[in-house]
Chains A and B, each alone.
Chain A
Amino acid sequence: GNSVTQMEGPVTLSEEAFLTINCTYTATGYPSLFWYVQYPGEGLQLLLKATKADDKGSNKGFEATYRKETTSFHLEKGSVQVSDSAVYFCALSGAGSYQLTFGKGTKLSVIP
């Protein structure tokens, strides 16, 4: 079956530091890949997506590239802000499927 593995947290960074959150997946065919963000006390928001190999999703300074050869979709941001403190979830939707499979989530704390 499908699965998503993302780096364990929590991650604590200073403001303006570079962020990488690793995500790898296992799926048959060509899944669609997503990053979601959950701010404290809120539901999940779609951050970015990529639907085919070599696609780069980007939003709010975050970006991730769909790497078929390494089955990865790592999240990056060049300069984090305190307002980026949240839990980040990597997820996939298998080919021909409407269901999402989520990673365990990575809690990011950014300190001034």
Chain B
Amino acid sequence: SAVISQKPSRDICQRGTSLTIQCQVDSQVTMMFWYRQQPGQSLTLIATANQGSEATYESGFVIDKFPISRPNLTFSTLTVSNMSPEDSSIYLCSVSEEGGSGQPQHFGDGTRLSIL
């Protein structure tokens, strides 16, 4: 399966600032996703990162708050903008195995973000 590297692994940020998280995959993949995992909670899908076009956001998430880039088939970034303490979470990127729908996703180790 694909090897996924996320940077940074953790950060502590000030209220009102923005942070960009990078996700690098060791092979070309079609489907990439960004999730949020709030403390002690399950994963919530933020958006699907589409190569060459705007990301597809889930209900409750907007581009102004979580802009996403996907310049090629191996790389994506998620920016958390104008951060508040409520944004303190683990942010994870994932990729879907090739071979059509119904395939499992593989995850990076996540970025642990704390907002002061």
Contacts and interface: CB of A to CB of B under 8 A. Distances in A.
Given A42-B109, A98-B96, A93 B102 contact: yes
Interface stretch (A14-22, A78-86, A102-110): A102-110
Interface string A6-50: 000000000000000000000000011010100000111110010
Contact of A44 (B45, B92, B102): B92
A89 B92 CA distance: 15
A103 B42 contact: yes
Interface string B44-76: 010010000000000000000000000000000
Contacts of B101: 93, 95-98
Given A51-B102, A93-B102, A99 B45 contact: yes
Contacts, number: 55
Interface residues of B, number: 22
A105 B102 CA distance: 21
Contact of A43 (B33, B42, B102, B110): B110
B30 to A, nearest CB: 9
A43 B106 CA distance: 9
B24 interface: no
A53 interface: no
6 contacts: A43-B109, A46-B105, A49-B104, A51-B102, A100-B105, A104-B41
